Amino acid sequence: MSNSIEVYNKLTFKQDIPKYIQIATFIKRLIEKRKIKDGDKLPTIRELSSFLSVNSVTIVNAYKKLKSEGYAYQKVGSGSYAKIREISSVFRKEYSNSLKVLSIDELPSIVDFTGETNTEVLFPIDDLKTTIDKVLDRDGANALISNSTYGYKNLISTINKVFWDNKLNEEDMIIVSGAQQGIDIVSKGILNINDNVIVEKPTYGGALSVFKWRKANIFEVPIENGGVDLDKFEKILRKNKIRCFYTMSYFQNPTGISYSLKKKKRILELAEIYDFYIIEDDYLSELIYENSIEYIPFKWLDRKKRVIYIKSFSKIFLPGIRLGYLVAPEVFRESLQNSKFNTDITTSSLMQRALELYISENKWKQNIKYLNVEYNKRYKAMQEILDKDFKELVSYIDPKGGLSFYLTLKDISISSKELFFKLKERGVYITPGIMFFTSENDGKNTFRIGFYQTNEDKIKIGLNILREELLKCHI
Amino acid sequence: MSNSIEVYNKLTFKQDIPKYIQIATFIKRLIEKRKIKDGDKLPTIRELSSFLSVNSVTIVNAYKKLKSEGYAYQKVGSGSYAKIREISSVFRKEYSNSLKVLSIDELPSIVDFTGETNTEVLFPIDDLKTTIDKVLDRDGANALISNSTYGYKNLISTINKVFWDNKLNEEDMIIVSGAQQGIDIVSKGILNINDNVIVEKPTYGGALSVFKWRKANIFEVPIENGGVDLDKFEKILRKNKIRCFYTMSYFQNPTGISYSLKKKKRILELAEIYDFYIIEDDYLSELIYENSIEYIPFKWLDRKKRVIYIKSFSKIFLPGIRLGYLVAPEVFRESLQNSKFNTDITTSSLMQRALELYISENKWKQNIKYLNVEYNKRYKAMQEILDKDFKELVSYIDPKGGLSFYLTLKDISISSKELFFKLKERGVYITPGIMFFTSENDGKNTFRIGFYQTNEDKIKIGLNILREELLKCHI
């Protein structure tokens, strides 16, 4: 459908900005406000240039800019068409910029419940410095040379020994530059265009982006206590040839839910029956605060070689050190090794060696113990306030571990996105639900608050402000 | 077309290997030998299981294995079909494994003209160690924390100051984990499926893989002295909407050719006329041995914002430190930043800081000077022998810089791939031309010999063996 050209009447040019940018911005706004709809034909170049009394090159450039920003596309011989960019991706940018624009001086005065500022780091920096020094002394130039695309051999062996009781085949392992890269490599290595992928609903936005980039078809299955809804899961399996299921088995992001043993076993059976693979993203399983949660990842139960396991060290080791590994069934060995090579050749050598020494000298386990104590304090502090002061405002499933709570609004008249903006004004940052869904209509009444970048005082201050804002909108 | 089932008569089962693997291997061989052709229908499960007297599950598993390895595909409701894997990819694996299987003890006795072993490193390791220590002392925990997806701000500023005379817009820059990642990020950020890409012929295999992975259509244009053949280049531009042109402007890999100023200017004009972008991979321009080569990358000449510039530090800094940066026109800012985030969130922080200090303390330039002297010696040593002893055996274009020579066989009765295997037997490793083309029919009479991982003695030994082998096959 084409719009009337009259709508462009409202465009008045300012002096100091190139006209083509002003035209592009004007059209963008119309698209975002849905005055121009997805697939609407834009005026022809001649039409618009004569209507606005500008040179036709100006319109060409404006359309070019819209195209490059994803607001328009061209059909050969037929002109330009509008394209709706998902609001979620627009908001995503706003969200991620909101913290980035803060200066270092401002950071101490805000409460970061998103966990994205990296202002608070629980890490014995001197220990790591000593470790790096030792590696440089011990290995000399070799410390800085990479010998293998798949990772530093001793690190692979140490991981196998310390975390897997030597039960892994080390040839199935690849060191990666963090879990995000792990997901990207797996996606490129095992997915073809239009392959079907099941994800949890809600799920981690960084994984969604990777699958979308790979042009996969995404099916979302709601997650509930104990794991995804198996009825809905099987229904999809029966109707579609699924290539893989992406899951976070412990403290799922954002819900904090961990899978029950029963569900894990059933999903593994289904993987065999329906011939799909499980991508298990294990990013936080070290932080278990209650005995009722036992660590048995899909990978441990994987008798039929159905699990591609991705482990991140970044969150728990150090956010600036991008390190992790993946373990995959042998059938994928070649394609994943190629995928790693074509992604970044190999992961930097020095940090692999430092991590290896850090783990084999047992400092890793000591640090995890320390982190468990510290984060558990914050977890309890947050939970105590939530249970005491938020009863009529929010509900949540107790994660019993991890670094955050996922809250559902009760009888609140605003969306969590609106809440985000209100709280931001007051220096408190939350992650609204919209960040974790493929559709912009989901996640309106949920949000995540994490304690990773806080302390007990900040938790009190932040939750107090959150409570005040929620009370204002309580129905 | 379907094959007669009789061909499976030749399959005799061995005792100790699962039957499905033996069947899959047998079929793979038939495909590789072209006894089964691309797109041929494989026997049905029932047919083959009864012919071979095995359980049908065995055939199912064999076909599954073939599928997962890319030798077969399934059409729903119609059965399984053979797929020809490019021989070049089979050889690629053989090639890259040939050096990997060598133990550290074996390395000193071989001559690595491929440059892939990293046995010889011209790097003042103590300098870097001091730099890393300084960074850790200066920045403490911050040294290990990443503050931005796009890279450590001071590194970006220092690069702009030292290498670009502050002429870049720093918001257009992204720090990447090496040039390979740069290519991958650009590919994901600006290419859509079926977009058309022009590459030089021959070109770097790692870039070809990335573009193929992105399902781009690849056009190859022969490179000759001074750059690509512009007639052929324009012919493609006239007939096809090209999205980008991937080029290595200095010491092109593998040919060693550098672009003339005239060709660079013309290609920039064409980019504007035909609306495509130039991906400039600048991986080795620091190593210029002759004054006749002047450093003027496409990026310097880029008035119309047509160039995406990718700079690797890995080759010249340290191969185990995956670091580089890219500079792109503003229209791509958002898509490339997203692409970087979804690829690995960010590049490790510590090494960015170490590199920043290393550059700003002027150690970078000192080291480059030193590298120039050292590599120039090897370059001259290699050239001297080539000119003296290989006149009737090979021809080459003098690169006048970089790290290798690209040789064309003269009147030799074997292909460079066969030569590779012969030389390998004698402990000398070359890179045959086939590695740099999309078609397995190209590159048969060319190969690359690099001096990156050699010294003057090894050059003598290796070239002597090369000469002996060539003389054996001289017509």
Top-level class of domain A5-84: mainly alpha
Interface subset of A 258-277, CB within 8 angstroms of B: 275
Judging contacts by C-beta atoms under 8 Å, the chain B residues touching residue A93 are 334
Fold annotation for B125-362 = Aspartate Aminotransferase; domain 2 (3.40.640)
Q: How many CB pairs under 8 A join A and B?
A: 173
Q: Supply the pLDDT for residue B1.
A: 45
Q: Supply the pLDDT for residue A1.
A: 45
Cα dist from A358 to A164, A351, A462, whole Å? 17, 10, 35
> How far away is chain A from the Cα of B392, in angstroms, using its nearest Cα?
37
Q: What angle do CA B364, B158, A319 make, to 5 degrees?
A: 95
Please report where in the chains the tokens 């402000």 appear, as a residue: A465
The answer to whether B128 faces chain A, any CB pair under 8 Å, is yes
Q: Which carries the bigger pLDDT value, residue A20 or residue B464?
A: B464
One DSSP character per residue, A424-452 reads HHTTEE-EEGGGG-SSTTS-TTEEEEE-T
Q: Which of A131, A336, A342, A355 to mutate to test the interface with B (most CBs of B within 10 A)?
A: A342
Tokens (6 digits) for B178: 């090496």
Residue ranges of chain B assigned to CATH 1.10.10.10: 5-84
The answer to whether A317 faces chain B, any CB pair under 8 Å, is no
One DSSP character per residue, A386-405 reads HHHH-TTTEEE---SBSSEE
Q: How confident is the model at residue B152 (pLDDT cuts 50, 70, 90)?
A: very high
**DSSP-based three-state secondary structure for B459:** helix
**What dotted CATH number matches A88-119+366-472?**
3.90.1150.10
Q: Span B176-180, mean pLDDT?
A: 93
Q: Supply the pLDDT for residue B230.
A: 98
Which among B143, B322, B341 has the least Cβ separation from residue A346? B322
The answer to whether A455 faces chain B, any CB pair under 8 Å, is no
Residue B22 has pLDDT above 90, yes or no: no
Interface subset of B 381-400, CB within 8 angstroms of A: none
The verdict on a CB contact (< 8 Å) between B331 and A68 is: yes
Q: At what angle do helices B349-360 and B125-139 cross, to 10 degrees?
A: 110
Which among A68, A215, A322 has the least Cβ separation from residue B345? A322
Q: Supply the pLDDT for residue B85.
A: 64
**DSSP-based three-state secondary structure for B201:** strand
> How far away is chain A from the Cα of B142, in angstroms, using its nearest Cα?
9
Cα dist from B131 to A11, A365, A465, B115, B160, whole Å? 55, 29, 44, 27, 20
Judging contacts by C-beta atoms under 8 Å, the chain A residues touching residue B210 are 342
Return the beta strands (E) in B216-354 as ranges. Answer: 217-224, 227-228, 242-247, 277-282, 307-312, 324-327
Q: Which residue of A has its CA nearest to B152?
A: A320
Rounded Cα–Cα distance for residues B460 and B384 (Å) = 10
Burial of A81 per CB tally in 10 Å (0-12, 13-18, 19+): middle
User: Per residue of chain A (475 residues), what is the pLDDT tens digit?
Assistant: 446 788 888 888 887 778 888 898 889 888 877 788 878 889 999 999 999 999 999 999 899 888 877 788 887 777 888 887 665 667 877 887 888 777 778 888 899 999 877 766 677 778 888 888 899 889 887 787 776 788 999 999 999 999 999 999 999 999 999 999 999 999 999 998 788 999 999 999 999 989 988 888 899 999 999 999 999 999 999 988 899 999 999 999 999 999 999 999 999 999 999 999 999 999 889 999 999 999 999 999 999 999 999 999 877 776 677 899 999 999 999 889 989 988 888 888 888 999 999 999 999 999 999 999 999 999 999 999 999 999 999 999 999 999 999 999 999 999 999 999 999 999 999 999 999 988 777 899 999 999 999 999 999 999 999 999 999 998 8
Quick: pLDDT tens for B414-448.
999 999 999 999 999 999 999 998 877 789 999 99
Rounded Cα–Cα distance for residues A170 and B445 (Å) = 38
**Amino acid in the structure at residue B356:** E
One DSSP character per residue, B23-51 reads HHHHHHHHHHTTSS-TTPBPPPHHHHHHH
The answer to whether A154 faces chain B, any CB pair under 8 Å, is no
The verdict on a CB contact (< 8 Å) between A136 and B145 is: no
Q: Which residue of A has its CA nearest to B64?
A: A331
Tokens (6 digits) for A415: 């969306």
Rounded Cα–Cα distance for residues B349 and B36 (Å) = 51
The verdict on a CB contact (< 8 Å) between B320 and A350 is: yes
> How far away is chain B from the Cα of A351, in angstroms, using its nearest Cα?
9
Cα dist from B204 to A259, A421, B252, B278, B456, whole Å? 45, 48, 8, 16, 26
Which among B145, B177, B342 has the least Cβ separation from residue A320? B145
Quick: pLDDT tens for B212-263.
888 888 999 999 999 999 999 999 999 888 999 999 999 999 999 999 999 9
Which among A31, A466, A322 is positioned nearest to B350, based on CA atoms? Answer: A322
> How far away is chain B from the Cα of A349, in angstroms, using its nearest Cα?
5
Which among B118, B334, B348 has the least Cβ separation from residue A322? B348
The verdict on a CB contact (< 8 Å) between A118 and B318 is: no
Which among B93, B177, B318 has the least Cβ separation from residue A344? B177
Rounded Cα–Cα distance for residues B86 and A251 (Å) = 43
> How far away is chain B from the Cα of A285, in angstroms, using its nearest Cα?
20
Cα dist from A236 to A233, B341, B344, whole Å? 5, 30, 30
Which among A125, A184, A341 has the least Cβ separation from residue B140? A125
> How far away is chain B from the Cα of A50, in angstroms, using its nearest Cα?
24
Top-level class of domain A140-361: alpha beta
Residue A315 C-alpha from the chain's centroid: 12
Q: DSSP letter at A414? A: S
Q: Supply the pLDDT for residue A274.
A: 93
Averaged pLDDT score across all residues of chain B: 90
The answer to whether A68 faces chain B, any CB pair under 8 Å, is yes
Quick: pLDDT tens for A59-90.
998 998 888 777 888 877 778 888 876 656 67
Exposed e or buried b per residue across B227-255, where buried means at least 16 C-beta atoms within 10 angstroms of its C-beta: bbbbebbbebbeeeebbbbbbbbbbbbbb
Beta bridge partners of A405: A449
Which among B68, B146, B319 has the least Cβ separation from residue A118? B146
Cα dist from A171 to A330, A333, A351, whole Å? 8, 8, 21
Q: Span B458-472, mean pLDDT?
A: 97
Residue B37 C-alpha from the chain's centroid: 29
The verdict on a CB contact (< 8 Å) between A348 and B320 is: yes
The verdict on a CB contact (< 8 Å) between A342 and B215 is: no
Q: How confident is the model at residue B17 (pLDDT cuts 50, 70, 90)?
A: confident
The answer to whether B131 faces chain A, any CB pair under 8 Å, is no
Burial of A352 per CB tally in 10 Å (0-12, 13-18, 19+): buried
Interface subset of A 177-216, CB within 8 angstroms of B: 177-178, 180-181, 184, 188, 193, 206, 209-210, 213, 215
Q: Which residue of B has its CA nearest to A206?
A: B342
Please report where in the chains the tokens 């396991």 appear, as a residue: A309
Judging contacts by C-beta atoms under 8 Å, the chain B residues touching residue A345 are 178, 180-181, 206, 314, 322
Q: Supply the pLDDT for residue A88.
A: 60
The verdict on a CB contact (< 8 Å) between B334 and A129 is: no
- The sheet carrying A394-396 orders its strands as A394-396, A404-409, A446-450, A431-432
Cα dist from B151 to A352, A434, B325, B335, whole Å? 20, 27, 9, 16
Q: Supply the pLDDT for residue B393.
A: 96
Residue A28 C-alpha from the chain's centroid: 27
Instruction: Provide φ and ψ at B17, rounded to 5°.
Output: -115, 135
Q: Supply the pLDDT for residue B258.
A: 97
Quick: pLDDT tens for A228-278.
999 999 999 998 889 999 999 999 999 999 999 999 999 999 999 999 999
The answer to whether A156 faces chain B, any CB pair under 8 Å, is no
| ipTM tops 0.85 | no
Q: What angle do CA B111, B115, B118 make, to 5 degrees?
A: 90
Residue ranges of chain A assigned to CATH 3.90.1150.10: 88-119+366-472
Handedness of CA B346, B350, B352, B353 (dihedral sign): positive
Residue ranges of chain B assigned to CATH 3.40.640.10: 125-362
The verdict on a CB contact (< 8 Å) between A141 and B133 is: no
Rounded Cα–Cα distance for residues A159 and B123 (Å) = 30
Which among A241, A342, A351 has the least Cβ separation from residue B184? A342
